[in-house]
A = this chain, B = another copy of it.
Amino acid sequence: MAVRRTTIAKVTVTDVAERAGVSTATVSRVLTGRRGTGAEVAQRVHDAVDALGYVPDYLAKALRDQRTATLGFVVPDITNPFFPALIQAIEASARAVSSSILLVDARNDPDEERRVAEILVSRRVDGILISPCHLTRSVALVDQLGASVSVVQIDRVVSSRVASVSADHTGPMAHLAGIAARTGRQRAAFVGSELTVSTSHARQEAFARQFGETDRVLVGDFSVDWGRAAARELVRRWPDVDFVVCASDLIAFGVIQELQMMGRRVPEDIAVTGWDDTLLAIASRPTITTVRQPIVEMARLAVELVTGIPASGSAVVPSTIVEGQSSG
């Protein structure tokens, strides 16, 4: 089963020009639509293009324009279920402006992150979108990248010196506090993940502000297993907690599951909420009340920022609460 590949003799502007009986410049003008071109000549060019099956060479154009129409996206960990949806949105937004996405995965490692980001630079991408994997250890990289290419931090933000698009944490947290109040909950707790992840850090701060609670906080990592462990710890240390805000759906899923194993009813005895609106939020029983970030808009803004005129800034977009059954 050999790969058959008829190496089609490449058709160039020169071939088209010859066939249409014009110069290569005219062909270029007709095709790019720049400057005025005689209608009759334009027709001849188009005919020649069709006849020859000419396709402009993206590589030559890129070298000439010094522009690759390609954006890089440094994702911290593609196996984190939040990111595939973001990747999808970014890819779509990029396509809308005729750009493609070079995807690289940092595997949650700042060293690896630097390595792959530098690959993107050497590839001459027109800009880089990055969700920095580490709150402090990624800062230098983000700042340095900003010196040689247009950079926008998306979702996770670690440097105020570089443009960013992120979702608001305060609004949804206030909303969750409202739900807790409305349903007469008395004691809230927060289960977060690594504080080295900017979003987790921000959510914890928002929790402290909106719930006025800084003690009942547990921090682990970004996994279902940690959620399970946290649930046990929670019950042991603060048996009367009746509202648990989790920094992600993975954690919330684990918390709920373990609470149920221990005979607690969710949400009757204890409410649990998640974050990110991933598959787990609806797979869980009860379904998880979670926070949906406006991924599509974030992607659109980020792509606009990164491809836009050097003038730039940062945007914080509002999230929405998706009420499941777990917050009763």
Contacts and interface: CB of A to CB of B under 8 A. Distances in A.
How many monomers of this chain does the complex have?
2
Interface in A149-202: 149-151, 160-163
Interface string A93-124: 00100001111110100000000100100111
A303 interface: no
Interface in A66-104: 66, 68, 70, 78-79, 81, 83-85, 87-88, 91-92, 95, 100-104
Contacts of A6: 147-148
A63 to B, nearest CB: 5
Given A1-B313, A2-B312, A102-B100, A224 B282 contact: yes
Contact of A59 (B59, B83, B87): B59
A257 B6 CA distance: 52
A11 interface: no
A86 to B, nearest CB: 10
A27 to B, nearest CB: 17
A12 to B, nearest CB: 12
Contacts of A313: 1-2
Contacts of A116: 95
Contacts of A39: none
A265 interface: no
Nearest to A8: B148
B81 A81 contact: yes
A285 interface: yes
A312 B91 contact: no
Contacts of A283: 224, 253-254, 257, 280, 283
Interface in A1-42: 1-6, 8
A140 interface: no
Query: Which one of A81, A103, A163, A314 has the greatest number of beta carbons of chain B within 10 Å?
Result: A103
Nearest to A310: B3
Given A147-B5, A148-B5, A91 B63 contact: no
Q: Which 5 A-B pairs have the closest CB atoms?
A: A3-B312, A103-B103, A78-B84, A59-B63, A224-B283
